Amino acid sequence: MKNIRLTLEYDGTRYQGWQHPGIKTPSDTISGRIKSTLCRMTGEKIELFCAARTEPGVHASCQTAGFLISSPLSPQEIGRMLNQYLPQDIAVLWAEEAPERFHASLNCLSQTYTYRVCTGTVPDVFRRKYMYHLPRPLDILAMQKAASSLLGTHDFRCFSSGKTKKRSEREIRRAEVISPGEGELCIVLEASSFLRQMPRLIAGTLLDIGLGLKRAECIPAILSGQEPAGAPAPALGLCLTGTRYA
């Protein structure tokens, strides 16, 4: 058996996330499309693991996935054939044979999400599917102050839509609000891992702070459950931009 590691990018617009629980049509998910294509290529039943289970409508420019296969196909042949048969909104950037013990989910040290906002009066025609259009003045300093309160290890249960009994502590290693260009704002979050809807709920809360709907000092109150988080920011602006391994 060979352990194959893929680096992927995809436009999540028309998919129900990487793997949506209870979905009746696997082809509506990113993993479903990849697994069905691999099955047709090799005749094998594939179990596919990933660094981060992106949600419906969320994109990825750097997703890592892995699977075991007994086919004689080389990693390069697998990558080339996947790009030939997959839809054009899913692409394999790199395919390689990984060490036997490599596991895309368990070995991932951190994930980075970037939320992009278009603040200009007119939405960017060429990036409108990948940026949330919010043509209103934002207090970036207040957003940056609030983002710094997220750093470190906290219980992020109140920044999640999932009702789980599992541990909800996560470590935020990077939380930045930057303006890479005129009319554009980016919220960059790096964590050991994320809870369900956690990146979108953090982005939505920071945008509320930027609009003056919430105080910059509200983060501790939200973490303690004394104050609700903001509504989740629309999925189209969120992209998985990094997965880090040792």
Per-residue pLDDT tens over the stretch 201-222: 999 999 999 999 999 999 999 9
pLDDT at 122: 93
Output the pLDDT for position 152: 97
Residue 165 has pLDDT above 90, yes or no: no
Residues 205 and 142: their CA atoms lie apart, in Å, by: 12
> What number is the average pLDDT over the span 84-102?
97
Of the candidates 10, 33, 43, the residue with the CA atom closest to the CA atom of residue 85 = 33
Mean pLDDT calculated for residue range 75-86: 97
Q: What is the DSSP string of 158-175?
A: GG-----SS--EEEEEEE
Give residue 23's pLDDT band: very low, low, confident or very high (50, 70, 90): low
What is the average pLDDT value for the chain, to the nearest integer? 95
Phi, psi for 166 (deg, rounded to 5): -75, 165
The pLDDT assigned to 15 comes to 96
Rama region for 17: left / alpha / beta (φ>0; ψ in -120 to 50; rest): left
**Residue recorded with tokens 């809360």:** 205
